Amino acid sequence: MDEMHEKSDAQLLRGYAQHGDEAAFSEIVTRHTDLVYSVAVRCVNSPDLACDIAQSVFTDLSSKARPLAEKLADGASLVGWLYRSTRFAALNQLRNDHRRLAHERQAMEQLLSNSETAPDWDRIRPVLDEAMDNLSDEDRDALLLRYFKNHDFRDVGLALGLSDDAAQKRVSRAVERLREFFAKRGVTAGASGLVVVISANAVQAAPAGLAVTISTSAALAGGAVQTSTALAATKAIAMTTLQKTIIGTTLAAVVSTSIYEARQNFRLREQNQTLQQQQAPLIGQIQRLAHERDDANSKLDALQQENEHLRRDTAELAKLRGEIARLRNDSRDLAQLKAAETQMTNTITSLKSVLTARGHTASARTRATPALVVGLSTRRKPRRLVNSNTRATPALVVGLSTRRKPRRLVNSNVRPSGNRPVENVSWDELQRAGGFLDQINASDVRAQLSRQASLPITVLRLPSEAEWEYAARGGSHWRDGFRYSGSNNIDRVAWYDRKHGDHTQDVAMKAPNQLGLFDMCGNVWEWCEDALTREVENLPSDGRPYRGSSSERALRGGCFHNWSIHCTVSKRYEIDRAFHDGCIGFRLVSFMLSPQEGLVGWGRCRSRLTVRVG
C-alpha cells in the first residue's frame, strides 16, 4: 500500500490499463473521489446526483484507461482530466434533466441554509466552476492541485513538470484571473481571502462508502465491458432508478434528507471541536518552539556579528604587523644608508681631489662642453643597436646631453619602444667578447663623439662605482648634498614606486642634475663595472673599478618600481653578473684623450661620465 501512495496518477493508471491492477485503480479513486464529488455537487447541487456523476466519471476513466495512459508522462496527474470530465458530465446531466436539477437545487439551498459556511462562499459557490472553466488547462490544473487537493508547490511543480517557483507563479496567476472573473460578476474579494474561502469550502467529504462502491463498479465495468454498449446500459439503468426514486419521493424524503444532513452537521461539529481540543496543546508547543527558534536565531546573529568583528580585528592586526616590519626594515636601511653615505662622502672627496689634480674640472673645454651622451638623452625617436637578448628595448643613441639631434645605430633585430631605456641585459652580455660594448666600440660611435666633443675618444665602457656616484652627485656640485641626483625632491628627477605604471618611462622627461645628466636615479638600475665589495674602504681611491673575485656586480640608482629609499645616490645593490631583468639597464663613460696625450694607461686618461643607455 505504501508503494501505491508513492506512485503518480499516470503510473497507477498505466498499471491498471496494462496489467489489470485493481488496487492501482482503487488508489486513484481514493485520491480523487473528494475532488470529483465536490465539483459535481457544485454543478448539480445534489449529493445523490453528484455520487452518480462521480461514479460515471470513474467508470469512463476505467474504459479509457489504456489510450489515456499512453498519452500521460510518468509524473503526470489526473486532476485536470477528472475535473474536465466531471464538469462535462454535470453539464450534460443539467441539459438532460433541467426540471429535476431545479428541484434538487432548491432542496440543497434549503438544506445548506443552516450551514456554517462563510457568506462569501454563498456568493462564490454558484459561479466558481464557471470561473474555473474559463481558465486555461495549465492554470486550472495548478489551481486544483494547490487549493482543491492541498498539495504544496513542490508537488504541484512535479505534477506539471515545473520548478517550485514556476508552479507558485502559475498558481498566483490563476488566482488573480479568478478574482477578476468574480469582480465582473459583482463578487469583490482579495486574492488572499479568495484563496482561504476556496481552500476551506471547495472540496467536501464524499458520503461514506462511495469510494468503495465506485471502485467495485468501475473495476467490474472495466474488466467485463469490452465495448461502450454495456457501459451505456449500466448508466441508463442507474439513471432510470435514480429518476424513479426522485419522482417517488415526497416531502417526507426531503425531511428525512434534512434530518440526515442535520445529524451529519452535528457529528462534524463534534469532530471539529474534538480536533480543536486535541490541537490546543500542540499549538502551545508550536508557539514555544517558535519562540525558542527565534531566540536561537538571535544568538546566531550575535555570534556571526562577533565573528565578523574578530575577523576584521585579525586583518587589522596583520596589517599593523606588516607595517611595523616594513618600518623596521626602512629604519635599518636608513641607518645603513647614512653610514654608507658618510663613507662615500669621504671617498668622493678623495676622488674629486684626484680628478681635479688631473685637470678634469680645471679644463675650460670641459666646463664648456656638456658631458657626452651614450643613451637616450633626447626625446627624438632612436634606432637600435644589436642585442638579441634585450626584449622590447629602445635604441642606443649617441649624442650630447643637451637636446641636439642624435645620431642612431641601426639594428633591425630589436623592436622599437619609444624613448625608453635599454633593459633586460646582463653584465656578461655587455662585457663579453662581441657583446654590446664591443659592438659600440667597433662602430662609428667614437668618431661621432670625437667630432662633437673635439676630443679623441678611445673607448666606451661601464663606469666604476666611484665615477657613477661622482656624476650622480653633480660632479663639482657634490657639496649641494642632494639625496637624489639633482634634487631632494624625488618626484622632480626620478621615476619610482610604480607611480606611472609597472614599466619603464621615456628618458629625459624629468629634470637633469647639475651636470645635465638625466635619470641618474629611478627608471632602471644601472650596472657598474666593479665586482661587489661590502667594504667601501676596498674601493680604489683613484676611481678605478674594484677587481674582486665575486660573481656579483654592483647596481646603482634604483628603478621604476622601487621605493624612494632605494633610489638615493648612495644606495648600493648587488646581483649576479649573469642576471637580467626588465628593471636593469646600464650607462657608459667615454675615455677622451687630448692630442698631446696617448693611450698610456689609466692614470693619464680623463673619463667623462654620460647619461644612461639602459
Closest to 440 measured CA to CA, from 429, 454, 455: 429
> What's the half-sphere exposure (Cβ side, CA atoms, 13 Å) at 552?
9
Collapsing DSSP to helix, strand or coil, 376 comes out as coil
Q: Using DSSP, how many helices (H) and how many strands (E) does the chain show?
A: 21, 9
Region at 329 (left for phi over 0; alpha for psi -120 to 50; beta for the rest): alpha
- CB half-sphere exposure, 414, CA atoms < 13 A: 27
pLDDT, residue 373, reads: 32
Q: Give residue 594's pLDDT band: very low, low, confident or very high (50, 70, 90).
A: very low
Closest CA to 203 of 137, 102, 132, 275: 132
Beta-strand (E) ranges in 87-174? none
Give per-residue pLDDT as tens, 41-95: 998 888 888 998 999 999 999 998 899 888 888 888 889 999 999 999 998 888 8
pLDDT band at 477 (very low <50, low <70, confident <90, very high): very high
The sign of the CA dihedral 603, 607, 612, 614 is negative
Q: Which CATH class is domain 115-205?
A: mainly alpha
48 in helix, strand or coil? helix
Confidence of residue 604 (pLDDT cuts 50, 70, 90): very low
Q: Could you tell me the CA-to-CA distances from 152 to 149, 157, 168, 290 in Å, in that order? A: 9, 9, 9, 21
Cα 61 to chain centroid, rounded:
52
Look up the CATH number of domain 1-114+208-247.
1.10.1740.10
Asked if 93 and 101 touch (Cβ cutoff 8 Å), the reply is yes
* Dihedral angle over CA of 495, 503, 460, 387, nearest 10: 180
Is the Cβ–Cβ distance between 57 and 238 less than 8 Å? Answer: no
When mean pLDDT is compared across 104-108, 328-332, 401-405, the lowest value belongs to: 401-405
Residues paired with residue 141 on neighbouring β-strands, in sequence order: none
pLDDT tens sequence across 400-419: 233 333 333 333 333 335 68
Checking if the pLDDT of 597 tops 70, the result is: no
pLDDT value at residue 414: 37
Residue 249 or 538, more confident? 538
As to burial, measured by CB atoms within 10 angstroms (0-12 exposed, 13-18 middle, 19+ buried), residue 48 is middle
Q: How confident is the model at residue 96 (pLDDT cuts 50, 70, 90)?
A: confident
Q: What is the pLDDT of residue 396?
A: 32
**Other CB atoms within 10 Å distance of the CB of residue 426:** 23
Q: Is the pTM of this model over 0.85?
A: no
Instruction: Determine the pLDDT at residue 398.
Output: 34
pLDDT value at position 349? Answer: 67
Write down the pLDDT at residue 389: 34
Q: What is the DSSP string of 464-490?
A: PHHHHHHHHTTGGGGGG--SBTTBS-H
pLDDT band for 122, please (50, 70, 90 cuts).
Answer: confident
Q: For 16, how many CA atoms within 13 A lie in the half-sphere containing its CB? A: 32
- Per the CB < 8 A criterion, the answer to whether 472 and 557 are in contact is yes
- Bridge partners of 572, per DSSP, are 556
- What pLDDT, on the 0 to 100 scale, is given for residue 281? 85
Which one is the CATH code of 358-612: 2.30.30, 3.40.1350, 2.60.40, 3.90.1580? 3.90.1580
Lowest mean pLDDT among 9-23, 41-55, 195-209: 195-209
Q: What is the domain partition of the chain in residue ranges?
A: 1-114+208-247, 115-205, 358-612
Pairwise pLDDT comparison (3 vs 196), residue with the higher score: 196
Residue 344 confidence (pLDDT): 66
Report residue 552's pLDDT band, with 50, 70 and 90 as the boundaries. very high
- The mean pLDDT of 273-297, rounded to a whole number, is 87
Residue 222 pLDDT: 56
How confident is the model at residue 252, as a pLDDT? Answer: 59
d(CA 238, CA 322): 94
What is the mean pLDDT of the segment spanning 451-461?
74
CB distance 142 to 176 below 8 Å: no
Beta-sheet pairing, 457-461 with 584-592: antiparallel
Is there a contact between 422 and 394 (Cβ–Cβ < 8 Å)? yes
Contact at 8 Å (CB) between 465 and 539?
yes
Helix, strand, or coil (residue 372): strand
Q: Does residue 5 surpass a pLDDT of 90?
A: no
Task: Give me the pLDDT at residue 485, please.
Answer: 95
Residue in the block written with cell 434530518:
259
- H or E segment to which residue 530 belongs: strand 525-531
Nearest to 51 by CA among 33, 78, 31, 30: 33
Q: Does residue 516 come out as left (phi exceeding 0), alpha (psi in the -120 to 50 range) or beta? A: left
Count of alpha carbons within 13 angstroms of residue 204, beta-carbon side: 21
Check pLDDT > 90 for residue 555: yes
Q: What is the pLDDT of residues 176-193, one digit of tens each?
A: 988 888 888 888 878 788
- Per-residue pLDDT at 543: 83
Q: Sorting pLDDT into bands at 50, 70 and 90, what band is 258?
A: low
Work out the end-to-end distance of the chain between its first and last CA atoms, rounded to an integer number of angstroms: 89
Yes or no: say if 48 and 257 are a contact pair by the CB < 8 Å rule.
Answer: no
**Residue scoring higher pLDDT (131 or 214):** 131
On the question of pLDDT at 524 being above 70, the answer is yes
pLDDT at 227 (0 to 100)? 42
The reported pLDDT for the residue numbered 393 is: 28
- Spatial neighbors of 56 by CB under 8 A, at least 6 apart, are 89, 235, 238
Task: Please report, as a single letter, which amino acid is at residue 228.
Answer: S
Percent of the chain with pLDDT over 90: 28
**In this predicted structure, what is the pLDDT of residue 221?**
56
Residue from 166, 578, 134 nearest 389 by CA? 578
Say which residue, 206 or 497, is predicted with more confidence. 497
Residue with cell 462534524: 268
Band (pLDDT 50/70/90 cuts) for residue 229 is very low
Least confident of 35-44, 238-247, 358-367: 358-367
- State whether the Cα torsion 69-199-26-87 is positive or negative: negative
Mean pLDDT, rounded, of the chain: 76
In this predicted structure, the answer to whether residue 490 has a pLDDT above a threshold of 60 is yes
- DSSP class per residue in 566-597: GSSTT-EEEEETT---TTEEEEEEEEE--TT-
- Which residue did the predictor score with more confidence, 353 or 97? 97
Strand partners, 398: 374, 407
- Judge whether residue 511 has pLDDT over 90: yes
Q: State yes or no: pLDDT of 491 exceeds 60.
A: yes
